[in-house]
Amino acid sequence: AQRVTQPEKLLSVFKGAPVELKCNYSYSGSPELFWYVQYSRQRLQLLLRHISRESIKGFTADLNKGETSFHLKKPFAQEEDSAMYYCALGSSGTYKYIFGTGTRLKVLA
């Protein structure tokens, strides 16, 4: 079964500390993984996708097929990173996304 697991509902870190938001997936084919972010009072928006191998707002995520993980990392958290983060798995052939339950990141001053 296709599934995305985000084990942490809430992650609190101090400003300047490293951040790692965990995401594990279950998928039998070749996965396409994404991270979406929702800032307070804003709509859900794409943060980054694994296929681009890009860094957005200092965040990176590496697809580890052996561990079936796609953890989101940032070396130095900023207060403006506080938001809800969703990991999503793209299901090719049906064009649908399977979302995890999300992790709320709180960056403390």
Candidate residues 23, 90, 105, 107; the one interacting with another protein per rule CB under 8 A: 90
Backbone phi, psi, residue 50, to 5°: -65, -30
* Chosen residue from 66, 67, 95, 109 binding another protein by CB under 8 A: 95
Q: Does 50 bind another protein (CB under 8 A)?
A: no
3-state DSSP call for residue 2?
Answer: coil
* Cα separation values, 85 from 5, 93, 94, 97, Å: 12, 25, 23, 15
Contact call for residue 100 and another protein (CB under 8 A): yes
Q: How far is the CB of 33 from another protein (least distance, A)?
A: 10
Two tokens, residue 31: 């996965």
Write the CA distances from 61 to 1, 26, 48, 56, integer angstroms: 23, 17, 8, 10
Residue 101 lies near another protein (rule: CB under 8 A): yes
**Are 81 and 57 a contacting pair, CB within 8 Å?**
yes
- Judged by CB under 8 A, the stretch of 16-24, 57-65, 72-80, 96-104 that binds another protein is 96-104
State the nearest-atom distance from the C-beta of 14 to another protein, in Å: 26
Positions touching another protein (CB under 8 A) are 4, 32, 43-46, 51, 86, 88, 90, 92, 94-102
